[in-house]
Amino acid sequence: MPYKVLVVDDEAPVRDLFSDLLKKERCTVKCASSGEESLDIIKEEDFDIVLLDIKLGGISGLEALKKIKDIKPNLIVIMITGFGYDESLIAKSKEYGCSGYIGKNMPISQIMSNFKLFAKTAQEGTKK
C-alpha cells in the first residue's frame, strides 16, 4: 500500500511512531504538528490519506477536518483518538466526512490493519 500520508499530531513521539509504522508499510509520510500547519501543507501538496488527531493544540482536530474537506473534499481523512471509543466525537467526525477512526488504545497490529481497511474502503468509494 504505497500511499502518500500526512500525519497530524501535536506530540512528536506519536508523529514519529506513526511515520515509522507507515514507512514500514512502504508509505510516503509527511508530518504536521498542528491543524494550521496541516492546512498549509495540504494547499501545496497532494496526499492520499491524512491521519488526523482529534485533540490538537490550536484549532481542534474536528475543525481541521472540516477545513481540509473544504479545501479537498475527496481527500481521505482518518481520525486518531486517544479517548478510546467516544460515540459523540465519532459521530461528529463522520458528519464532517472522515472515513474512519483509529484509537491509540488499540493494539498496534489492530491500528495498522484498521488503517489499511479504512484506506482501502475509502479509495474504492472515491473511485466509484
Partner 1 sequence: MNSYTEKTEKSLYRIIDNANALILYLDVKGNIIICNKKIEEVIGKLKEDIIGRYWLGFLSRDDNTGMKQQMFKAVIDDSIKYKRSNNFEGIMVDVNNNEQLISWNISPILSEDRELEGILLIGNDITELKEREASLKKIDETLKHILSSIREYALYVINLDGNITYFGMGAEVMLGWQKNEIIFKHISILHAEEDARSNLPFILEQVRQVGQYEVETQLVNKDRQSFPVMLTVNKFLDPQGELTGYIFIAKDITERKKLEYRIFQSEKLAAIGQLAATMAHEINNPLFVISGRLEMILEQEGLDDKLKEELTVINTQADRIRKLVDRLLKFARHAPPKLEAISINEAIESVLPLLSYHKLPVSNIDIEKDLSDNLPLIKGDLNQLQEVFVNLFINAYQSMSEGGKLSIKTSNFMGRFAEIRIGDTGRGIAPQNLKNVFMPFFSTKKDGTGLGLPICFNIIKSHGGSIDVESQVDKGTTFIIRLPFR
* CA–CA gap between residue 16 and residue 65 (Å, rounded): 21
Answer yes or no whether residue 21 interacts with partner 1 by CB under 8 A: yes
Answer yes or no whether residue 55 interacts with partner 1 by CB under 8 A: yes
Q: Which is nearer to partner 1, 48 or 53 (CB)?
A: 53
Answer yes or no whether residue 37 interacts with partner 1 by CB under 8 A: no
Judge contact between 6 and 41, C-beta under 8 A.
yes
Q: Which one of 28-36, 37-45, 85-93, 119-127 is the stretch in contact with partner 1 (CB under 8 A)?
A: 85-93
Judge contact between 72 and 43, C-beta under 8 A.
no
Please name which of 76, 70, 86 lies closest in space to residue 118, comparing C-alpha atoms: 76
Answer yes or no whether residue 91 interacts with partner 1 by CB under 8 A: no
Q: Which is nearer to partner 1, 71 or 108 (CB)?
A: 108
